[in-house]
Structure 1
Amino acid sequence: MSSLTPINPDTINEMFTTACNAQMEGRLQEAQKLYSELLTFIDAPLLHYNLGLVYYDLSDYENALPHFETSVKCNPEDIDSLFNLALCYKKCSRISDSITFYKKVLVLETNNFDALYNLAGCYRELRQDQSAIETYLKVLEIHQDHISATNNLAYMFQITGQPDQAIRYYKNVLSLDPGHEAATHMLASLEGVTPQSSPDSYVRGVFDNYSDHYEKSLIDELHYSVPTKLRTLFNSIFPEDYIVSSGLDLGCGTGLSGEAFGNIVKSLDGIDLSEKMLDIAREKDIYTSIFSGNIVDYLRSTKIKYDFFVATDVFNYVGNLKEVFSLAQSTASKNAVFCFSTETITGDSFKLQPSGRFAHSPGYIVEVVKKAGWNVELQKQTGLRMEKGKWIPGVLWILKN
């Protein structure tokens, strides 16, 4: 007991029971308050563990962390405490610490499937590719029909330049789930098949999973700066005082293009498939309205007339662009501007690449936009991002109607 005013043990038991009931019933704020109050009277490991769970469920990972750490310090061989501490370190972007504690779980319980699967994900995030592959293989030794582990293993083989193994495991995914759109898409990319577009579920999954570290990875590690490059190109042909009334950021993600172009648009809307990316964009307060969904569906249904469109690294996930530019034209006001980027290939069409992204030939873009009623004002070749030590070739485009 602490040196604070003593409290009746029966009262402590009653408060604890009430807190546990509130936690189980989802009244998390009430549970948090009661557990915190109890900790002023008794410093019990179970209180720290339960309070850590409450904070975690409230997505308050920074406050959850010290309580899980205390729980583990008091019970260093409690698997639940170790596992939840590892989860929390991951949420706090302390991936190496997360790995340490998943390994502690596995010392105590060698075949703990969840710890192995999460450990593989940590290795994958740190780009420790071989460790990720080996750990996913261990997962499949325990649970050979686990779809997510099989799909992730296929992806790891794909990005490490082992296409035969990647094809094998994507086919395994499809044998378990013939309707798995992401595996179908990635298998097509490896077998040289080019569909019209990427499945919404695939794109949503990629960016939901990527959202926590999207900007850090893209900007710091891949040296991505397409929105600012495109804005510089825009500034080269439009006056400094250029302002339009309404704009639409297609595939807005976390809002990088909105940040680059927001000051030229009085009312800028954003649309994206990934809710987790949109949650980050909302925090920036860049957009007047944010819509969740497919860009083609939105362009079909909106009644708004837009003066400005921007789409950076969006058409990597759309093969056939005829409908996009045609629908954008139908929602565009007179003298509207459309700024966007594409990955580039030679030839006269578009292709799904082994990366799972689409690339388009400049000739194809020119033909499609002209048929849709747009005029190419400016195009410029550039490096879009670094991949395996090389720049991905692309083109920046500015159109007017």
Structure 2
Amino acid sequence: MCPDSGEDTPTEAVTLEQALALAVGWQREGRLDAAEPVYRQILAVLPDQPDALHFLGLLEFQRGHEDAALEWLARAVAVAPGHAGLRSNHGNVLQTLGRLDEAEREYRAALAAEPALVAAWNNLGVVLHAAGRRHEAIEAYRHALELEASSAADHHRLATLLERCHEYEAAAVHHRAALALDPQHLGATRALGHALSRLGRLDEAAAAYRAWLALEPGHPLAELRLAACGGAPAPARCSDAVVRGLFDQYAGHFDAHLRGTLDYHAPERLADALALVLDAPAAALDVLDAGCGTGLCGPLLRPYARQLSGVDLSPKMLEQAAALALYDALETAELCAWLNAHPGAFDLLVAADTLCYFGPLADFAAAAAAALRPGGWLAFTLETHTEALDHRLNACGRYSHAPAYPLRVLAGAGFGQLRSQPVVLRRERGAPVEGLVVLARRPAAPGYACAD
């Protein structure tokens, strides 16, 4: 056989094995035009040569020719069903195309042929995780690490999934294992503190966050979490960068997570409270959804609204809200600054699960009072604690408040008709998250009728 794929290609006869080795080497270097003719020459002579079929399929996939790739790979599998590497690579292509059930079948076939194939165990874990079968994915990743525990990335992958299953002790072990192999592993450095804080090991968590800051000085989330562990003074509120980054990442699955996992009902609790003080919905009010996120409050506020506006720090969350077609205006901005720039603009201001990113509330209360018209209502939720502290930054990175504190601040900002009601805002790890629904009214101007 005489492969002819360029001036540096040997012209003397070579064996099948040598030709395949040349072509595979070129393919790995990205020289697809050199490799492809070799595979096709082999197949012209030996149409069922499994390696040529296999690597030509992968080459077609590299070119973006998905149908051709799958056709060549299927032919290879038909010829060599017990070829573990082939079945694993076929699974990789199917996984990339989102055909998870078929990819799982191929990985399991690879492992039946070669139970110690580490890549197949890892890729099976990826597919199982993507399919929502987290505990099966964990077992697949553990099999891979039992066979070969030298990859920091593999330890980190398992640790991340263990955290999502609330197995924080095991997660911390694998984050530490990743860092032992690669002390500069950024993912493990970032994540270790979170696992430790969940375990209540705050001194260790603070040390982990300091290590993160050593790698990424000034990182806003690392600074917040260090403060949340008691390793630095707590800021007055979460920074714009933290909130924006968190919720831009969260936007695509925010609603499903809150509703499906956390049993989140703060919007409904606010709507119930507002129904007791507002007239029947008549589309007559200018309403602001403050920290509107993806718009979970929108359907509940729209019936009251002549004009429904939303403001949020996260552009990605606002994209989700815009898709609802409920809001007349949506803006990306920091809340207090935006309120101060819109004096006397609203009859109703609602903030669901927004003030858990604020410690002191005086600035918010003053800005809300300025943005409301005389007689306008303010309604919001807070997470609460029982300690003798007005506000506290918790290890999770959110603030909670003493139940009496918001009423005192609102009174100081000139609000009246103060009301608060204890509620369960959501559930985390099966436990209720206690909070308040708070209502307050800006006093009416002289001569303005203000019915309770």
TM-score between both structures, scaled by the size of structure 2: 0.69
User: Structure 1 residues 85 and 381, CA, compared in 2 at 3 Å: closer, same or farther?
Assistant: same
Measure the CA separation in 1 of the matches of 2:353 and 2:136.
33
Q: Deviations over 1:288-316 (max 9, x none)?
A: 44444532344355699333322112111
- The answer for the alignment partner of 1:171 in structure 2 is 210
User: Structure 1 residues 259 and 144, CA, compared in 2 at 3 Å: closer, same or farther?
Assistant: farther
Q: Name the structure, 1 or 2, with higher relative contact order (CA <8 Å, separation 6+).
A: 1
1:125 Cα shift? Answer: 0.6
Moved more, 200-209 or 316-325: 200-209
Measure the CA separation in 2 of the matches of 1:125 and 1:42.
35
Alignment partner for residue 263 of structure 1, among 280, 296, 303?
Answer: 303
Q: Deviations over 1:141-172 (max 9, x none)?
A: 11223343233221211111222222222232
Question: Is 1:112 aligned to 2:182, yes or no?
Answer: no
Question: Is 1:20 aligned to 2:87, yes or no?
Answer: no
Alignment partner for residue 92 of structure 2, among 49, 70, 79?
Answer: 49
Question: Is 1:338 aligned to 2:378, yes or no?
Answer: yes
Question: Is 1:65 aligned to 2:100, yes or no?
Answer: yes
Question: Is 1:36 aligned to 2:75, yes or no?
Answer: no
Moved more, 361-370 or 210-219: 210-219
Aligned residue-pair number: 374
1:199 Cα shift? Answer: 2.1
Moved more, 146-155 or 226-235: 146-155
Alignment partner for residue 346 of structure 2, among 300, 303, 306?
Answer: 306
User: Structure 1 residues 142 and 42, CA, compared in 2 at 3 Å: closer, same or farther?
Assistant: closer
1:48 Cα shift? Answer: 6.0
Percent identical across equivalent pairs? 25
Measure the CA separation in 2 of the matches of 1:347 and 1:369.
19
* 1:320-335 superposed matches below 5 A: 320-335=360-375
User: Structure 1 residues 36 and 51, CA, compared in 2 at 3 Å: closer, same or farther?
Assistant: farther
Measure the CA separation in 2 of the matches of 1:240 and 1:220.
30
Query: Contact 2:344–2:373 (CA<8 Å) still a contact in 1?
Result: no
Q: Deviations over 1:380-400 (max 9, x none)?
A: 223334456654442211223
Query: Contact 1:310–1:340 (CA<8 Å) still a contact in 2?
Result: yes
Query: Contact 1:366–1:376 (CA<8 Å) still a contact in 2?
Result: no
CA RMSD, 1 decimal: 3.7
Query: Contact 1:377–1:399 (CA<8 Å) still a contact in 2?
Result: yes
- The answer for the alignment partner of 1:200 in structure 2 is 240
- The answer for the alignment partner of 2:171 in structure 1 is 132
Secondary structure in structure 1 of the residue aligned to 2:297: helix
- The answer for the alignment partner of 1:236 in structure 2 is 276
Query: Contact 2:375–2:441 (CA<8 Å) still a contact in 1?
Result: yes
Secondary structure in structure 2 of the residue aligned to 1:256: coil
Q: Deviations over 1:2-60 (max 9, x none)?
A: xxxxxxx89x9999867634xxxxxxxxx4xx41365467625656634542x4xxxxx
1:97 Cα shift? Answer: 3.6
* 1:155-194 superposed matches below 5 A: 155-191=194-230, 193-194=233-234
1:181 Cα shift? Answer: 2.2
Moved more, 273-282 or 243-252: 273-282
Question: Is 1:98 aligned to 2:128, yes or no?
Answer: no
Secondary structure in structure 1 of the residue aligned to 2:420: strand
TM-score between both structures, scaled by the size of structure 1: 0.77
Query: Contact 1:259–1:286 (CA<8 Å) still a contact in 2?
Result: yes
Can you give the 5+ residue segments of structure 2 that lack an aligned partner in the other structure? Answer: 1-42, 45-52, 77-86, 443-452
Alignment partner for residue 294 of structure 1, among 324, 334, 357?
Answer: 334
- The answer for the alignment partner of 1:254 in structure 2 is 294
Q: Deviations over 1:163-213 (max 9, x none)?
A: 222222223223333312222222222328332111233334444555566
